[in-house]
Amino acid sequence: MNPTIYDVSRLSGVSTATVSRAFSDPSRVREDTRRRVLEAAELLHYSPNAIARAMARQRTDKIAFLICKKDATILDEFYAGICEGIMQETNRSDYQLVISTAADWRLASDTAQRKQIEGVILGGNAPADLVSEFQTQHIAVVLVNNRIPGHELPCILSDETDGVRQVLAHLVARGHRKIAMLAGRFSPYISSERYHAFLQIAQELNIPLHAQSIKMCDPEIESATRAALELLGQPDRPTAIFAANDVIAAGTLKAAARLGLRVPHDLAVVGYDDSAICPLLEPALTSVHSKVRSMGRLSVERMTALLAGEPVTELSTVLPPKLMVRGTT
């Protein structure tokens, strides 16, 4: 049915080997020969059969993106963004992409073999044993939005410290001194990054911290609202709250509304992730934007480089985030 390399070979009068080369390594065939091949191919509407190629080369050119998180919703806005970047980049390459959750993956470890994955991009809180498993199977690994102590792995990150710095600098510029943080218990790596960045930058900027300056909560609206209410119920309440993510910030806004505090007049609020909800909240939420799509794209670039055996120059790539100032500050 579809034309094969033989048809092209016959029509162009060269061997199949040459046709093959003309497509996969053009530099190895003389200019005019190549043109003849390409013309014949065009005429026949030929394009190489990926399956046959994979078979012969003993490579699948298949990579996977595994999302490591517990929630029911695996494609939340953040990972959807990364996913988009990954898809864009793989679609333009010759690689195939398989997307799954780490959990589903483990369940289907038998089919996993069949899927012949050559490299895995791990998004989020990847368990160390999963990583080791891949390494023993000689499957390339790239981390996105995570870093695993003890594993020297290529990773693509957003600069959390810089993000927090932008937040605090902005708040200070707005005249705030009494700044508190609502830290969230979500992905360990990210949570701890933002938490420690807050401590560090606050010190750098001489922002006074005390026992009540930081409160923990779950990244759910109720938990966040509750925590914010406590934070704001203190005698010497903060004039600004930095929430570890946008959901927590939304909870803070709810708390402010209940206490009759006007935002940003009585209280400034900043979130993190610049999710779709930011402009929808009233007032619109100031938040830190991480370059998720770029992170996705870069992770497959790194992966393809790895698979091509290119020497890794830098292990971790860290992208600068950007503070999006809106109505809450």
Partner DNA sequence: CTGAAAGCGCTAACAG
Partner DNA sequence: CTGTTAGCGCTTTCAG
Cβ-based nearer residue to DNA, 14 or 120? 14
Cβ-based nearer residue to DNA, 15 or 316? 15
| 13 binds DNA, rule: CB under 7 A | yes
* Neighbour-count burial of 140, counting CB atoms closer than 10 A to its CB (0-12 exposed, 13-18 middle, 19+ buried): buried
Cβ-based nearer residue to a second copy, 161 or 279? 279
| 83 binds a second copy, rule: CB under 8 A | yes
Secondary structure of residue 46 in the 3-state scheme? coil
Task: List the one residue from 108, 128, 312, 315 that touches a second copy (CB under 8 A).
Answer: 108
Record the tokens describing residue 130, joined without a space.
């999963």
Residue 21 interacts, among a second copy, DNA, none and using kind-specific CB cut-offs from 5 to 8 Å, with DNA
Record the tokens describing residue 297, joined without a space.
């794209």
Q: Would strands 286-289 and 322-324 be described as parallel, antiparallel, or unpaired? A: antiparallel
| 23 binds DNA, rule: CB under 7 A | yes
| 6 binds DNA, rule: CB under 7 A | yes
In the sheet that holds 268-272, the strands lie side by side as 214-217, 179-184, 240-243, 268-272, 286-289, 322-324
Positions in 277-296 near a second copy (CB under 8 A)? 277, 279-282
Positions in 46-85 near DNA (CB under 7 A)? 46, 48-49, 52-53, 55-58
Residue 29 interacts, among a second copy, DNA, none and using kind-specific CB cut-offs from 5 to 8 Å, with DNA
Positions in 165-184 near a second copy (CB under 8 A)? none
- Residue 15 DSSP code: -
Cis peptide before 264 (omega within 30 of 0): yes
Positions in 10-49 near a second copy (CB under 8 A)? 45, 47-49
Nearest approach in angstroms of CB 329 to DNA is 56
Residue 103 interacts, among a second copy, DNA, none and using kind-specific CB cut-offs from 5 to 8 Å, with none
Question: How far is residue 99's CA from residue 83's CA, in Å, rounded to a whole number?
Answer: 9
Three-class HEC string of 80-117: HHHHHHHHHHHHHCCCEEEEEEHHHHHHCHHHHHHHCC
Nearest approach in angstroms of CB 269 to a second copy is 13
Q: What is the residue type of 235?
A: P
Of 296, 313, 303, whose CA–CA distance to 140 is shortest?
A: 303
* Distances, alpha carbon 3 to alpha carbons 18, 54, 278, in Å: 16, 18, 53
Cβ-based nearer residue to a second copy, 65 or 198? 65
Question: How far is residue 199's CA from residue 180's CA, in Å, rounded to a whole number?
Answer: 10
Task: List the one residue from 25, 31, 110, 314 that touches a second copy (CB under 8 A).
Answer: 110
- Binding range to a second copy, per CB under 8 A, among 94-102, 157-165, 169-177, 318-326: 94-102
Per CB under 8 A, residues contacting a second copy are: 45, 47-52, 54-55, 60, 73-77, 80-81, 83-84, 87-88, 91-92, 94, 96-100, 104, 108, 110-111, 113-116, 221, 247, 250-251, 253-254, 257, 276-277, 279-282
